[in-house]
Amino acid sequence: MKVAIIPARGGSKRIPKKNIKLFCGKPMIAWPIEAALNSECFDKVIVSTDSNDIAEVAKTYGAEVPFIRPAELADDFTGTIPVTKHAIEWLESQGESVDEVMCIYPTSPFVQPRIILEAYKQWQASDASYCFTATNYAAPIQRAFKLTDNKRAEMFSPELFNERSQDLEEAYHDAGQFYWGKPAAFKNLEPVISDDSSPYILPRYLVQDIDTPDDWLLAELMYQGLKSSGHIA
């Protein structure tokens, strides 16, 4: 069985009720639910949540909520992999055979069914434990600097100051959208970013963290622009 697991706890503090707050006319969690369903990749699309409100919204948009997540897996410090592990093991305890898993974040409105399918094909061809979405940094990370205690600039890699941008190695980061993975990898709590992972590279215009109200506003503006230009369905 192929299953999509969407981890959506109810305790968002910076954006209250973030997972069910309306984003461009629909609850935020509706976007990844619909993308997963429309990809036709999955036998089940499951939301793991500790919130009855989130559960009701998720079911309205076609997801299953077969359990309420235990409180010990719903605090500010619990990572995505342990939550996915719990969902897999719960399904197995019900006699289900879980063969392939995709963990997809509830705040990923730019996820497209086509991309889910393309990443799946890449993952299958790679024989890696995971395939996750990533994108490149807009500027060379070797030019990054920090602010000192007296508010001055200090480069992390001053020895590279005189290197040309085009001569610096390109760097990438997790795009925070979804993670295809072998059930054993999740159950063994294996790290996503390793030499046993196959990154699926997204263009930067499809990537936006949504952690603050400013992020939310920017994401809505991005979505509206991408929609009107035909870059997303």
pTM: 0.93
- In the structure, what pLDDT confidence band is assigned to residue 176 with cuts at 50, 70 and 90? very high
What fold, for 2-135+173-229? Spore Coat Polysaccharide Biosynthesis Protein SpsA; Chain A (3.90.550)
Task: Out of 21-25, 103-107, 147-151, 226-230, pick the least confident.
Answer: 226-230
Q: 73-106, pLDDT tens digit by residue?
A: 988 889 999 999 999 999 999 999 999 999 999 9
Rounded CA-CA distance 170/222 in Å is: 24
Whether residue 232 has pLDDT greater than 80? yes
Q: Does residue 97 contact residue 104 with C-beta atoms inside 8 Å?
A: no
pLDDT of residue 14: 84
Cβ density class 129-144: b for 16+ within 10 Å, e for less = bbbbbbbeeeebebee
**42: phi then psi, degrees, rounded to nearest 5:** -120, 145
Tallying the residues shown for the chain, one arrives at 233
**212: phi then psi, degrees, rounded to nearest 5:** -130, 165
- In the structure, what pLDDT confidence band is assigned to residue 13 with cuts at 50, 70 and 90? confident
Domain boundaries along the sequence of the chain: 2-135+173-229
- Structure token digits, residue 12: 């968002």
N-to-C CA span, the chain = 27
pLDDT of residue 11: 78
Mean pLDDT of the chain: 95
Q: 14-31, pLDDT tens digit by residue?
A: 899 999 999 999 999 999
Give percent above pLDDT 90 in the chain.
93
pLDDT of residue 230: 87
What is the sign of the dihedral through the CA atoms of 153, 154, 160 and 165?
A: negative
Find residue 49's DSSP bridge partners: 68
Find residue 132's DSSP bridge partners: 179, 199
- Greater confidence, 13 or 194? 194
pLDDT of residue 231: 87
pLDDT of residue 75: 87
DSSP structure string for 131-188: EEEEEE-SS-GGG-EEE-TTS-EEES-GGGTTS-GGGSPP-EEEEEEEEEE-HHHHHT
